[in-house]
């Protein structure tokens, strides 16, 4: 766990919150606990005594196989519907299996890669969509709740291609893959769906939708995407194209250092971007990492607009919620959408921080009621009813 204790934008304190994990790939803080994809399970870690270190460990969901590199499964990410989403599956999966037994050759249900979801308590799991030859990595969400996700090895038509995919619920994105065809419950109703941003052999990984106008109006609701192999971060102009999207690449960050590998990008509460460089230690799975260089350290870079004014109390911890105005706090992209609190606005408030704030400020009863209502909608056959 890293912290910026003096608010200057630089992390100056680190500590171990949970340890002895297996190849953790992603973390999500939710309702007082940390959720981590660490094969073969999604784990929940909680600090019950306030000493800054998790003392309670719980298996929430499983089971996902892994083969020793980072393409096992990634996440979870909290979606705007309140569910956890994660990516993976190419090494095999058995949904709903929390038994501690594991070996690589278990009779896995299938080895079809895709995007999956579950409620934070581990109930009502679903296959959201299946896509690619291998290694779907991360998802982000449009303001309307559509899922956009990166896939490293989307297809091998005329050479390897990776992609950014509009992940429609129930969507199938690779008709040639027998693993997907053999997946229980999968139905083909026509041609496989296509990626809306089909890319070269670039190993796309971290992806995030930008919220707010801290970088200027043109960036709001566009997407930032990391490419591991090319040492680049792109800003993608996203716009509607019929029933899906189109994207225009704009180079945002690049490095000529071959040992720089940008793997994730996320937006901090003040609107700045955090760009993660894993350095040179990784050597299995990608063509630009054939020789391990563990002495080449990674870094976390914070990107702000030049001459940007620092945001005070970006997370709204000191905010008097009652009577607050959106205009007064429009510089806080993770707070301003939720001023004028209602149950619907708090629950459908477009991003993970909404629920954290709702829980923190004592709206637990209202939040539970909203979750119950959305669960009922999800269990109905008219799934479109809960979309905006």
Q: Looking at residue 113, which CATH number applies to its domain?
A: 2.120.10.30
Residue 171 domain-assigned? Answer: yes
- Of 143, 173, 200, at which residue does a domain stop? 200
In a shared domain, residues 92 and 195: yes
End residue of a domain, out of 200, 215, 238: 200
Token pair belonging to 216: 């200027």
User: Which of 147, 79, 55, 80 is CA-nearest to residue 345?
Assistant: 80
How many independent structural domains does the chain possess?
3
Contact 207, 224 (CB under 8 A): yes
Residue 13 near residue 5, CB atoms below 8 Å: yes
**Would you say 164 and 148 are in contact if contact means Cβ atoms under 8 Å apart?**
yes
Are residue 175 and residue 140 in the same domain, yes or no? yes
Task: Mark whether 169 and 301 lie in a shared domain.
Answer: no
Name 100's Cβ contacts closer than 8 Å, sequence gap at least 6.
59
Q: Are residues 46 and 187 in the same domain?
A: yes
Residues 172 and 218 placed together within one structural domain of the fold: no
**pLDDT tens by residue, the chain, 388 residues:** 988 888 788 889 999 999 999 989 999 998 889 999 999 999 999 999 999 999 999 999 999 998 877 778 899 999 888 899 999 988 999 999 999 888 888 888 988 999 999 999 999 999 999 988 888 999 999 988 899 999 998 988 888 899 999 999 989 887 557 787 778 777 777 788 899 999 999 999 999 999 888 898 889 899 999 999 999 999 999 999 999 999 999 999 999 998 899 999 999 988 899 999 988 876 665 655 566 677 888 999 999 988 888 777 777 777 665 666 656 666 666 665 544 333 333 333 333 334 444 444 444 454 555 555 555 555 544 444 444 3
Q: 295 and 188: one domain? A: no
Does a structural domain hold residue 4?
Answer: no
* 152 and 301 in a common domain: no
Domain holding 148, by residue range, is: 22-200
Neighbours of 1 (CB within 10 A): 16
Q: Do both 60 and 131 map to the same domain?
A: yes
Position 322 in a domain: no
Asked whether residue 100 is domain-assigned, the answer is yes
**Among the residues of the chain, which ranges form H helices?**
178-181, 343-347, 352-360, 364-379
Question: Do 100 and 144 share a domain, yes or no?
Answer: yes
pTM value is: 0.85
Burial of 89 (0-12, 13-18, 19+ CB in 10 A): buried
Are 208 and 90 part of one and the same domain? no
Final residue of a structural domain among 276, 310, 344: 310
Residue 319, SS3 per DSSP? coil
Same domain, 169 and 85: yes
Does 65 map to a domain? yes
């Amino acid at each position: 766990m890293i912290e910026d204790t003096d608010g200057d934008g630089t992390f100056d304190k680190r500590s171990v919150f949970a340890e002895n994990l297996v190849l953790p790939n992603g973390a999500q803080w939710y309702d007082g606990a940390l959720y981590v994809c660490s094969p073969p399970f999604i784990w929940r870690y909680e600090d019950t005594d306030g000493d800054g270190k998790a003392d309670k460990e719980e298996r929430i969901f499983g089971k996902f196989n892994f083969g020793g590199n980072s393409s096992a499964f990634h996440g979870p990410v909290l979606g705007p519907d309140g569910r956890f989403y994660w990516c993976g599956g190419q090494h095999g999966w058995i949904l709903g299996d929390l038994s501690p037994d594991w070996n690589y050759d278990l009779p896995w249900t299938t080895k079809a890669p895709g995007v999956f979801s579950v409620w934070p308590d581990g109930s009502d799991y679903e296959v959201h969509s299946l896509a690619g030859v291998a290694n779907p990595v991360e998802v982000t969400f449009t303001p309307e709740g559509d899922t956009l996700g990166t896939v490293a090895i989307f297809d091998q038509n005329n050479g390897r291609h990776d992609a950014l995919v509009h992940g429609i619920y129930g969507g199938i994105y690779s008709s040639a893959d027998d693993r997907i065809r053999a997946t229980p419950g999968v139905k083909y109703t026509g041609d496989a769906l296509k990626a809306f941003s089909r890319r070269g052999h670039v190993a796309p990984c971290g992806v995030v939708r930008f919220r707010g106008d801290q970088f200027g109006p043109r960036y709001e609701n566009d997407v930032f995407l990391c490419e591991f192999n090319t040492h680049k971060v792109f800003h993608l102009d996203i716009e509607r194209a019929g029933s899906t999207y189109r994207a225009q690449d704009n180079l945002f960050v690049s490095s000529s250092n071959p040992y720089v590998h940008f793997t994730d990008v996320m937006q901090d509460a003040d609107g700045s971007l955090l760009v993660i460089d894993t350095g040179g230690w990784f050597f299995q799975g990608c063509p630009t990492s054939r020789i391990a260089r563990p002495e080449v350290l990674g870094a976390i870079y914070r990107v702000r607009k030049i001459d940007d004014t620092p945001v005070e109390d970006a997370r709204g911890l000191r905010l008097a919620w009652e009577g607050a105005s959106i205009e007064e706090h429009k510089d806080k992209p993770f707070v301003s959408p939720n001023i004028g609190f209602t149950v619907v606005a708090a629950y459908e408030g477009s991003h993970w921080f909404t629920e954290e704030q709702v829980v923190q400020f004592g709206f637990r009863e209202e939040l539970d009621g909203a979750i119950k209502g959305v669960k009922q909608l999800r269990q109905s056959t008219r799934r479109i009813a809960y979309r905006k």
